[in-house]
Structure 1
Amino acid sequence: METILKIDNLNKEFGKVHAVKNVSFEIKKGNVYGILGPNGSGKSTTLGIILNVVNRTSGNYQWFDGQMDTHHALKKVGAIIERPNFYPYMTAEENLQLVCNIKGIHYDKVEEKLAVVGLLERKGSKFRTFSLGMKQRLAIASALLNDPEILILDEPTNGLDPQGIRQIRDIIKHIASLGTTILLASHLLDEVEKVCSHVVVLRKGEMLYSGTVDGMIANEGFFELQADNNAELRSLLSNHNAVEKIEEEDGKLFVYLKSPWEAAEVNRYLFQHNICLNHLVKRKHSLEEQFLQLTNHQ
């Protein structure tokens, strides 16, 4: 699979502040990547460096397997790292045509990209009449005009209401389905979990995890169990080699696993030991739980 971007031991210092510390990861073609971390974790600085608007202190990065320099590579990149900045008295169509003039792109792309972000019917509306969500969607359309191989978004749903957030998420998924690689920075766990296939977790400039979202939340999970005699249930399960720990809350046992154990096997095992369950649910840890566990250990 083609490597779109490779980052090696990237560092950025602002005086005494070490904003990015030895960050390394790769972006492969066709995936949706999230850089996840709280405000101040180094997400925007990392994006600024690879987009050549922030100078790195040390480390390296290369676009498209190193086949071209950054200046030429960025012609194949679409990015939004600041608030949408269009002329308020011009229509959506006119604003995008202006971008086409600057970038040397044919006007045919304007309606095509307005359709992708669901704004084709509003092409004749002035930018000042747009909601915040519509402004963000127009910015995405602008970033898509050059048919980029990768689209980079910094906090794409920041400040939006729930409907606006959902619209942006749906658009990102749609763009990804068309084959465009996407890299987005976000402090919202829910956003990354619902949109991204891969995630890089940053905290105070340090990388805590890099890999698939499924890989981060892939663990043996836990069971919610309840029986007429929870004490007997707990005693039996605590001796099983698949069980890591057991907690009790609101009359239910939360049984955490250290090795695979399927629900049917649990039920059969307990029945063979004369315990009938009133309640059995198998759950996985959410990305939020994994993220908090990861960052709390630092």
Structure 2
Amino acid sequence: METILSIKNLSKNYGLVQAVKNVSLEIQKGNVYGILGPNGSGKSTTLGIVLNVVNKTSGEYSWFGGTMQTHDALKKVGAIIERPNFYPYMTAQENLELVCKIKNINYSKVTEKLTLVGLIDRKDSKFRTFSLGMKQRLAIASALLNDPEILILDEPTNGLDPQGIHQIRDIIKHIASQGTTILLASHLLDEVEKVCSHVLILRKGEILYSGSVDSVSANQGFFELQAEDNTALKASLQRHSAIEKITEDNGKLLVYLKEPLEAVTLNRYLFERNIALCHLVKRKVSLEEQFLELTNSQSSIINHQSKIIKE
């Protein structure tokens, strides 16, 4: 599979603050990658470096297998890393035609991209009349005018209302379905889980996880169980070899697995021990829960290391 962007051991220091620490990532053609992390985790800095607007401290990156210089490679990249910035007194069409003129792109692309982002009926409306969501969609249309091989978005739904968020996500999915590679930075777990095929999770500039979204949330899941006698239920569950741990929440037992176990098999196991369930639901651990587990585990490691150093 063709490599669009390769990042190796990238670091960025701002004085004593290390914003990015040895980040590595391979962006393969046709996938949707998310860089996930809270504010200050190094997401925007990483994007700024590969877009040649932030100088790296160390490490390296290369576009399209290193076959071209960054300046030439960026001609095949579409990016939105700041708030949409167009002339307020010009219409949507006029603003995009100006971008086409600057970048030497055929004007025919304007109608095509306005249609793609759902703004063709507002092509003659002035930019100042647009909502924040419409401004963001126009920015995406502008970034797509040169038919880029990869589209880079920094917090594409930040500040939008639920309808605007839904529209942007649908547009991203549609663009991806046409074969465009996408790299987006977000602090929203839900956004990455619904839109991305791959995720890089950052915390304070360091990688906590890198791989497919399915893999990070791939787990045996857990059961929500309840019986008239939860004490007897718990005692029976603790003797099952597939069960890793049991917790309790609002009168229900949350049963986490260490190996595959189907609901019908578990129900039969309990019935044979004279336990009748009044509630049985199997759930998958969400990306949010996995993310919190990763960040909490990292915090525990850091706290433990600090304790050792102090001792």
Match of 1:92 in 2: 92
Q: How does 1:32-47 map to 2 (within 5 A)?
A: 32-47=32-47
- AA matched with 2:70: T
Give the Å deviation of 1:42.
0.4
Alignment RMSD (CA, Å): 0.8
Count of equivalent residues: 298
Match of 2:211 in 1: 211
Match of 2:158 in 1: 158
- AA matched with 1:87: Y
* Cα separation, 1, equivalents of 2:106 and 2:9: 39
Give the Å deviation of 1:249.
2.4
Task: State the 4+ residue runs in structure 1 displaced beyond 6 angstroms.
Answer: none
Q: Does the residue aligned with 1:297 lie in a helix, a strand or coil?
A: helix
Q: How does 1:116-195 map to 2 (within 5 A)?
A: 116-195=116-195
- 1:63 to 2:66 alignment: no
TM-score normalised to the size of structure 1?
0.98
Residues 95-152 of structure 1 deviation map (CA, whole Å, 9 limit, x = unaligned): 0000001111000000000000000010001101111110000000000000001000
* Cα separation, 1, equivalents of 2:105 and 2:19: 36
Residues 237-279 of structure 1 deviation map (CA, whole Å, 9 limit, x = unaligned): 1011111111122221111111111111111211222222111
Task: Name which of structure 1's ranges 242-251 and 217-226 shifts more when overlaid on structure 2.
Answer: 242-251
- 1:228 to 2:228 alignment: yes
Q: Percent identity over the alignment?
A: 78
* Cα separation, 1, equivalents of 2:182 and 2:279: 42
Match of 1:31 in 2: 31
Give the Å deviation of 1:66.
1.3
* Cα separation, 1, equivalents of 2:249 and 2:201: 31
- AA matched with 2:123: K
* Cα separation, 2, equivalents of 1:267 and 1:121: 56
Match of 2:301 in 1: none
Structure 2: give runs of 5+ residues left out of the alignment: 299-311
- AA matched with 1:172: I
Task: Name which of structure 1's ranges 231-240 and 43-52 shifts more when overlaid on structure 2.
Answer: 231-240
Match of 1:10 in 2: 10
Residues 207-248 of structure 1 deviation map (CA, whole Å, 9 limit, x = unaligned): 110011111111111101112221111111101111111112
Match of 1:107 in 2: 107
Give the Å deviation of 1:164.
0.7
* Cα separation, 2, equivalents of 1:246 and 1:24: 37
- 1:75 to 2:75 alignment: yes
* Cα separation, 2, equivalents of 1:215 and 1:297: 18
TM-score normalised to the size of structure 2?
0.94
Residues 74-104 of structure 1 deviation map (CA, whole Å, 9 limit, x = unaligned): 1110000011110001100000000001111
Match of 2:249 in 1: 249
Residues 18-71 of structure 1 deviation map (CA, whole Å, 9 limit, x = unaligned): 000000011111111100001000000000000011111110111111111111
Match of 1:268 in 2: 268
